[in-house]
Structure 1
């Protein structure tokens, strides 16, 4: 067992806990108690995400080598995946854990059935947070949550989960920072800090352009939706009734086929590129925070951090607009069975951009915390 006290962050929705009679919070307490009985060491579990204590501990653990003794335990339910805060925690922690080759520290509990996680919802678009969770050895609690908390089956399951946490801490390899190779590397010689920074600087404008393209396609979808609203109004004025509305919906579905396909591909590309390099970028920022980096590396980092902050500022605005659009199409989709899959795809693509913003924001936050000195001195 490591000398640092292990800490767990319990990621759940308060509504789920309320609907389940407080069992989710009690489960965290039961696991912590079982862990201490097994190991003799306390396991502190942070629950209240609204408290300053939770936020301070979260940031400290992410930015510290103590990440190696820190668990994120998401309580996965349909509402969990609807919570942007919960999604943000999974994405952020996954990137930090992967940057240290400590993926096992993300330990999801599948609490209420999520069809996408068990591949029972092939007609739904892929969800990147579900994919992050599915890559881990999640714990199946879907039947156990129905057991009496004092039953032998439930108590044994709590014991096994606590034992698994202890084993992960005992057997986890030392934190190994992930190296980020340049995107266009062709040389056999390992890249230096400056080469990596230069490659990343070139990539940032491309991501910004992707967000702009995304917004343009969404705008074209909005225009088609406006066309449909005008057509429906005209049909209603002619007494077309629901038959006329269905005709417009059918035509709208046809007209949306190409832009929806584009927005789906663009959203997937954007998320995949950012998520793939996230651990490496986190490692770069950690490297830049070291006091002994040479002046030329410090200058490269300063330029890169400036680009990150500018990208975060621009994409934050665009992402907010996309989120507003996604919320508006959600209601419109309910009116037509033919349109529903199209709008689900649009919402899933927008969600990828929203989740990608979590990655960029975390880079920006970490960059803000790095003291690179006064650039006027260089």
Structure 2
């Protein structure tokens, strides 16, 4: 076994635990007890993410580079996916784990049925956090959660899960460093540190441009919905009734077809690019913090980190407005079955940008903690 004490971060919504009579918290305790019986070592599970202990342990484990003794165990339910805090935990941990080749450390438990996880998105927009979870070997607890906690079947399942944790600790590879391949990389000429950083610096303005385009289309959608509100008010004043409202709704749905398609494509593109490069960027920042760099490489790293922080500042302001817009769209979708699919697509696209902000914020946080000395160009 690894020398570090095994630690699990139990990611769940408190409301789910309340609705299920405290069974989610009790499950964590049973797994920890079973783990200790199997291995003779305690498994410390952090439950209260609002506590100082959770926050300190979370940052310490991420910042010191995850080892095969740190797990994130998300309890997947519809409410979990609706919690921005829970989504952030999955996204952050996934990026750090992938940067070290330790994907097994994210161990989701499918607790209450989420159709997208087992049946695909079907007629609803894809959820990128569901996709992150689906790529892991998640544990199916949907039927087990209805079993008596002292039943043989339930106890056997707890034992198997604890055994799986112990096996992961025994078999995961040692810490691995992942580098970002340059697009034109060849086996004979692998990119150096400066080449990799240059590729990243080129990508950052493109991401900022995508966010600005996204915000522009969202503004257009807002103008269209504002137009519809005015048209409905005019129709009502003329005694148009529900027939008048339906006419406006149909016209709005037609006017939204193009901007909704564009915002969906931009949101998917933005998330896909960020998620793909996330492990590599984390790896680069970790490498910069550990390596004894030349003066030239240090200046390259300073410039790169400055770009990251500027990107985070700009996109953070934008995503704040997008969250408010998404909330309003969610309320509006309740009033029209005709518009509901389009509004769901808009919300899913906005969610991708908001989740992308989690990735950028983590880069900025990590870069902020790296000491590269004084800026030679200042």
TM-score category of the 2 structures, normalised to the smaller one = over 0.9
Q: Equivalent residue for 2:69?
A: 69
Deviation at 1:147, TM superposition (A): 0.6
Q: Equivalent residue for 2:244?
A: 244
Deviation at 1:68, TM superposition (A): 2.6
Q: How does 1:1-378 map to 2 (within 5 A)?
A: 1-119=1-119, 121-185=121-185, 188-376=188-376
Deviations 1:230-268 (A, max 9, x none): 110111111110111011101100110000000000000
**TM-score of the aligned structures, taking structure 2 as reference length:** 0.98
Deviation at 1:338, TM superposition (A): 1.1
| 8 Å Cα contact 1:4/1:66 also seen in 2 | no
Deviations 1:100-159 (A, max 9, x none): 000000000000001111126511100000000000010000000001111101100000
Deviation at 1:195, TM superposition (A): 0.7
Moved more, 66-75 or 197-206: 66-75
Moved more, 226-235 or 353-362: 226-235
Deviation at 1:67, TM superposition (A): 3.1
Could you say if the C-alpha distance between residues 15 and 168 of structure 1 is closer, same or farther in structure 2, counting changes exceeding 3 Å? same
- Give the distance between the partners of 2:60 and 2:33, measured in 1 at CA: 24
Please, which runs of 5 or more residues in structure 2 have no aligned partner?
none
Deviations 1:65-96 (A, max 9, x none): 44331000000000000000000000000000
Deviation at 1:337, TM superposition (A): 1.1
- Give the distance between the partners of 1:65 and 1:202, measured in 2 at CA: 27
- Give the distance between the partners of 1:285 and 1:298, measured in 2 at CA: 12
- Give the distance between the partners of 2:240 and 2:188, measured in 1 at CA: 69
- Give the distance between the partners of 1:192 and 1:374, measured in 2 at CA: 23
Deviation at 1:4, TM superposition (A): 1.3
Deviation at 1:174, TM superposition (A): 1.5
Moved more, 352-361 or 190-199: 190-199
| 8 Å Cα contact 2:65/2:96 also seen in 1 | no
Deviation at 1:63, TM superposition (A): 1.4
| 8 Å Cα contact 1:182/1:191 also seen in 2 | yes
**TM-score of the aligned structures, taking structure 1 as reference length:** 0.98
Deviations 1:322-350 (A, max 9, x none): 11111111111111111000000000000
- Give the distance between the partners of 2:130 and 2:344, measured in 1 at CA: 16
Deviation at 1:16, TM superposition (A): 0.6
Deviations 1:163-219 (A, max 9, x none): 000111111112211110124546841001111111111110110000000000001
| 8 Å Cα contact 1:330/1:347 also seen in 2 | yes
- Give the distance between the partners of 2:16 and 2:188, measured in 1 at CA: 52
Provide runs of 4+ in structure 1 moved above 3 Å.
183-188
SS at match of 2:9: strand
- Give the distance between the partners of 2:84 and 2:323, measured in 1 at CA: 11
